[in-house]
């Protein structure tokens, strides 16, 4: 008996939107197959869960399109033992995908109502290993640093310097960097005190608001 009416759509999403567009990390693909994305959307919008576009979740925030979630996760090159910091909890979906791969996930969210909803979504989806904290994500969370991986899920004018300092040696940071209209995905790898930057495809995210991001208007 099928108790998940969206299972076929989710499998089609993984095959059509992810595999065919070049997502190769099997751990990412399996996580995207397992996490029920429709549980992270506002009530009444579940039918849009597996379509290839972002969906608004309220408070000016969105849940990113599946391909971008998968791409950013793949760029992090996660391992099971990694300690991961996420900047911007949003719906909780990205954290859920990471938690399927890595055991320790801390997610920072500046909007209390968004953080509460993300926690509810994660519980409903039976995702464990994610700790959500209401805080300015641009300053990071030094109490639990260093992190093997840091993911920024909002567009920033530059990589916030506190996040670089909280990255472990050999750690990877992925963030959308650019102006308010268009950004490029950037991966930063730390080698001692050297940071190596790589740029990937153009994206468009909501702005990263905070002390080391954009100022709240």
Q: What is the pLDDT of residue 33?
A: 97
Closest CA to 101 of 140, 75, 134: 75
When pLDDT is averaged across residues 20-30 and rounded to a whole number, the result is: 97
Query: Residue 8 is encoded by which pair of tokens?
Result: 């076929």
Angstrom distance (rounded) from CA 112 to CA 26: 34
Is a pLDDT exceeding 50 seen at residue 20? Answer: yes
Q: Domain 7-203: what homologous superfamily? A: Vaccinia Virus protein VP39 (3.40.50.150)
Is a pLDDT exceeding 60 seen at residue 182? Answer: yes
Q: What is the pLDDT of residue 86?
A: 98
Alpha-carbon dihedral sign for residues 207, 99, 200, 22: negative
22-31, 151-160, 184-193, 208-217: segment of lowest average pLDDT = 208-217
Give the residue numbers marked as catalytic: 64
Angstrom distance (rounded) from CA 133 to CA 206: 20
Closest CA to 54 of 46, 65, 44, 45: 65
What confidence tens digit (pLDDT) does each residue in 192-208 have?
999 999 999 999 999 99
Confidence of residue 217 (pLDDT cuts 50, 70, 90): low
Contact of 96 with 86, CB cutoff 8 Å? no
Is a pLDDT exceeding 50 seen at residue 1? Answer: no
Is a pLDDT exceeding 90 seen at residue 114? Answer: yes
What confidence tens digit (pLDDT) does each residue in 47-81 have?
999 999 999 999 989 999 999 999 999 999 999 99
Is a pLDDT exceeding 80 seen at residue 2? Answer: no
Q: Pinpoint the alpha helices (H) of the chain.
A: 7-13, 26-34, 66-75, 93-99, 112-124, 161-165
What confidence tens digit (pLDDT) does each residue in 73-103 have?
999 999 999 999 999 999 999 999 999 999 9
What confidence tens digit (pLDDT) does each residue in 127-173 have?
999 999 999 999 999 999 999 999 999 999 999 999 999 999 999 99
Is a pLDDT exceeding 60 seen at residue 112? Answer: yes
Angle among Cα 63, 9, 13 to the nearest 5 degrees reads: 60
Chain centre to alpha carbon of residue 89: 7
Q: Which residue has the higher pLDDT, 216 or 118?
A: 118
Contact of 58 with 42, CB cutoff 8 Å? yes
Three-state SS at 38: helix
């Amino acid at each position: 008996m099928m108790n998940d009416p969206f299972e076929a759509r989710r499998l089609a999403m993984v095959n059509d939107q992810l595999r065919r567009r070049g997502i190769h990390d099997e751990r990412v693909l399996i996580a995207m197959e397992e996490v029920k994305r429709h549980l992270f959307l506002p009530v009444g919008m579940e039918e849009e869960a597996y379509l290839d576009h972002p969906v608004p979740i309220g408070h000016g925030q969105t849940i990113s399109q599946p391909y971008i979630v998968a791409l950013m996760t793949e760029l992090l090159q996660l391992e099971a033992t990694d300690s991961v910091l996420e900047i911007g909890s949003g719906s909780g979906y990205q954290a859920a995908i990471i938690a399927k791969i890595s055991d320790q996930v801390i997610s920072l969210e500046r909007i209390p109502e968004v953080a509460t909803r993300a926690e509810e979504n994660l519980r409903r989806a039976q995702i464990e290993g994610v700790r959500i904290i209401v805080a300015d994500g641009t300053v990071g969370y030094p109490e639990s640093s260093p992190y093997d991986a840091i993911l920024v899920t909002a567009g920033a004018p530059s990589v916030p310097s506190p996040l670089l300092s909280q990255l472990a040696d050999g750690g990877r940071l992925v963030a959308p960097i650019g102006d308010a209209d268009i950004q490029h995905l950037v991966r930063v790898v730390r080698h001692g005190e050297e940071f190596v930057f790589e740029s990937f495809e153009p994206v468009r995210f909501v702005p990263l608001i905070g002390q080391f991001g954009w100022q709240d208007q």
